[in-house]
Structure formats: C-alpha cells, structure tokens
Amino acid sequence: MLKDVVSWLNYAWFDEVALVIFASCFVAIVVWSLTLRKETVDRFGSIPLTDEVVDPRDPKSVTIQRNSTTPNTPS
C-alpha cells in the first residue's frame, strides 16, 4: 500500500515550492538590509576590524576588552 501511495505522488512541485521559499527569503533579507540605518551598517562593518567585544545591535553597549594572555577557548 505504501508503494502505491509513493508512486501516486508527484514530486514535480517540490522544486517550485523550494524556489518560492528561497526567493521570498532572499527578497526579505535584501529589503531588511536596505532599510538599515547608516549608523547600524557602520557598527556592523567595524566588527571584524576591532579586538573589542561589542553588541552591534545596542549603540549604548559596554565595550569589553579581551584579555590577550588567555587563549580564546569556549567554556
């Protein structure tokens, strides 16, 4: 009975559904990125260039200096 159900299914629409999901996520991310403020983009862009640990979402966040003598190991 399971073979009959599986053989009856048409998988041709799965690729179309996947394409629609991908396209909608892509458009949502592009729209989100285009609506960011310049200050936010500058904060996000400076993350790889600093040694400080800063929450980029909070402009009032406290800057924490990493201790350079201890290795960066997860706890």
70: in domain: no
> Per-residue pLDDT tens for 39-54?
888 878 877 777 776 6
Can you give the pLDDT at residue 62?
47
Local confidence band at 6 (pLDDT 50, 70, 90 cut-offs): confident
Number of compact structural domains in the chain: 1
71: in domain: no
Host domain of residue 48: 2-65
Distance, in Å, from the CA atom of 65 to the CA atom of 46, rounded to the nearest integer, reads: 15
13: in domain: yes
Can you give the pLDDT at residue 7?
80
Q: ∠ CA 61-64-69 to the nearest 5 degrees?
A: 170
Average pLDDT in the chain: 77
Can you give the pLDDT at residue 8?
79
72: in domain: no
73: in domain: no
Contact 42, 62 (CB under 8 A): no
Can you give the pLDDT at residue 18?
94
